[in-house]
Structure formats: C-alpha cells, structure tokens
Amino acid sequence: MSTSPTTAAPSVNGDGPLTADHQQAIHAALVSGQRPPRASALTACRMFAWRAILKIKHVPEQLLDVTITPVLFLVMFVYLFGGAVEGSTDAYLQYILPGILVQAVLFTTVYSGMSINTDLTRGVVDRFRSLPVWSPAPLVGAALGDLVRYVAAGTVTVVLGLILGFNAEGGVSGILGALALVAVFAFGLAWVFTTLGLVLRSPNAVMNTGFMALFPLIFLSNIFVEPSTLPSGLEAFVNVNPISHLVDATRGLMEGDPNGGDIGLVLAEAAVLTAVFVPLTTRLYRSRG
C-alpha cells in the first residue's frame, strides 16, 4: 500500500517545516493590518515637490547656474555697455535690472526638461508610473519644486542690483510682485521644456535645444535696449515677443508704476502655455517607456 508524499512548508531558517502556529502568525502579520489609504492628488504633488527640493539639497552644485549666471550677466552688461547705451552705468542699471531678473529666471526653466529626461532615461519614470498615486503628480510636483530655483535666481539678481545701486521705487511690494509674476510665467514656460524632455533622447539634447530656443527670444526682446532704437522689422518682433511683455510688466512693478494691462497679458500668456502643454506633457508621460 503506497502513500502520497506530503510537502511541508519550509521554515524561515531552513531547519525544518513551519508549524501551523508559525504559519498562522505569519499570515496574521501580513494581512491583519489595514491597507493604508491612497494618497490624495495634493499630497502626492507635495511629496514630489519635496523630492525636487531634496535633489537641490543633496546636489547643491545645481544652484551654481542659478546664482552665478545672473551675477555675471548683470555685472558684464552694466559695466561694459552701460556707458555706451545709456550714457552711464547707473542709468543703465535702472533700465536693465528688471530684464536681467526675467532672463535669469527663464533660463532656469530649461532644467525642468533636463530633470524629467534624466528620470526617463534612468527608468525612474517607470517606477513612478507603477505607484498608486495620481498619474500627473510627478510632473506637477517637479514643476512646483522648481519654483525654488526661480525664487533663488530672482532673489540673487535683485539683491545684487540693490547693492549696485538700483532704485526700487516700487518698494518691497513691487519687488515681490515682480518676482511672483516672473515665477508664474516661468511655471508656464517650464511645461514647454518638460514636453521636450519627454520627446528628446538625452538631457544634453534637451539643454541644447532649450537654450537654442530661448536665446533668440531673450536677446530679441526689450531687456537690453529700447525697441525704438531697432530696425522696424526687428522692433515689430520685439513688441510681440511674450518676454518683452513680461519685462514691461516687471519694470512697471519695480518702478512703482504697475500697468494692469501688461500684467494681465503676461498672466494670460502663462495660462495659455500651461493649458496647451500640461495635457500634452501628461499624455507623453503616460505613453513613453
């Protein structure tokens, strides 16, 4: 008479089969606790924003471009070209500082695309998509975390300008309003480069493409000279350039003469950028692997 062999469950340390009591204890430990609630969309976005900030904390070298580049641009343009453009460096400082503030912040938006591309090429995005969170949360959180970069770049520019003698007739409220307006526009523009980050194949490609797109818009604006001094065709382009609109609104706030039309136009342009590129970025994020 033959008997069929029984298979005993292996023990934890491999010395023998687990007893029924041990099996029940393990089962109770695994299933007795309640499943934690799924994070809300707001909580998930906040956590991913904190991740973006921690990346700056652990690799502070990332802030070199944010802090050094504005200093170089402001000092070089004021003291090399101030006398030729405005007749004195002091006068040119009053004109150019709001524009350098805009330039310093907008250049940092390219890093939003580089960051998402780095996560994509390293497989981090695949891990994010497997998490039980609101799917756009990594994108929205990263964009919110990048606001720290914008504020840092803007603060360095304004503080240096005040040290050099900029007369902020708009006072503290004008400066804070200008910083906030530039940050809002930068938030919308960053989604353009986030889209590039999901389309291109490497962070270097994102950086090169982003700066090639930004440089003409930055330099063909009213940051450095009055549009009326330019050839008519170039003047027409400068006047419709959204960056010129941002500079006009920023100058008005910092000079104590804010223009509601300029501010409203900038906010509308930022809203259009966000409305167009957020859905596009989200769709690309879900499809790319």
More confident residue, 106 or 67: 106
Residue 282 CB partners (closer than 8 Å, separation 6+): 135, 136, 139
Q: Are 154 and 82 in contact (CB under 8 A)?
A: no
Segment 224-247 mean pLDDT: 94
Q: Indicate if the alpha-carbon torsion angle 137, 140, 142, 147 is positive or negative.
A: negative
Given pLDDT bands bounded at 50, 70 and 90, which one contains residue 225? very high
Least confident of 102-106, 120-124, 148-152: 120-124
Residue 4 has pLDDT above 70, yes or no: no
Residue 81, exposed/middle/buried by CB under 10 A (0-12, 13-18, 19+)? middle
Residue 6 has pLDDT above 50, yes or no: no
Give the pLDDT confidence score for residue 222 in this predicted structure.
Answer: 94
User: Among residues of the chain, what percentage have pLDDT more than 90?
Assistant: 63
Nearest to 183 by CA among 257, 106, 255: 106
Q: Are 262 and 102 in contact (CB under 8 A)?
A: no
Residue 234 has pLDDT above 90, yes or no: yes
Q: What is the mean pLDDT of the chain?
A: 87
Nearest to 185 by CA among 96, 267, 279: 267
The type of residue at 232 is S
Give the pLDDT confidence score for residue 17 in this predicted structure.
Answer: 64
* Most confidently predicted of 31-45, 65-79, 192-206: 192-206
Least confident of 21-35, 86-100, 138-152: 21-35
Segment 137-144 mean pLDDT: 91
Give the pLDDT confidence score for residue 129 in this predicted structure.
Answer: 81
Give the pLDDT confidence score for residue 15 in this predicted structure.
Answer: 54
Given pLDDT bands bounded at 50, 70 and 90, which one contains residue 147? very high
CA distances for 37 relative to 23, 42, 45, 89, 220, angstroms: 27, 14, 16, 60, 51
The Cα 1–Cα 40 span in angstroms is 63
CA distances for 271 relative to 35, 130, 214, 244, 276, angstroms: 39, 30, 19, 17, 9
Report pTM.
Answer: 0.83
Segment 27-52 mean pLDDT: 76
CA distances for 28 relative to 17, 24, 37, angstroms: 18, 6, 20
Residue 54 has pLDDT above 90, yes or no: no
Residue 18 has pLDDT above 70, yes or no: no
More confident residue, 85 or 38: 85
The Cα 108–Cα 154 span in angstroms is 10
CA distances for 89 relative to 10, 25, 59, 104, angstroms: 82, 78, 36, 20
Given pLDDT bands bounded at 50, 70 and 90, which one contains residue 239? very high
Give the pLDDT confidence score for residue 219 in this predicted structure.
Answer: 93
Reported as a single tens digit per residue, the pLDDT across 172-191 is: 999 999 999 999 999 999 99
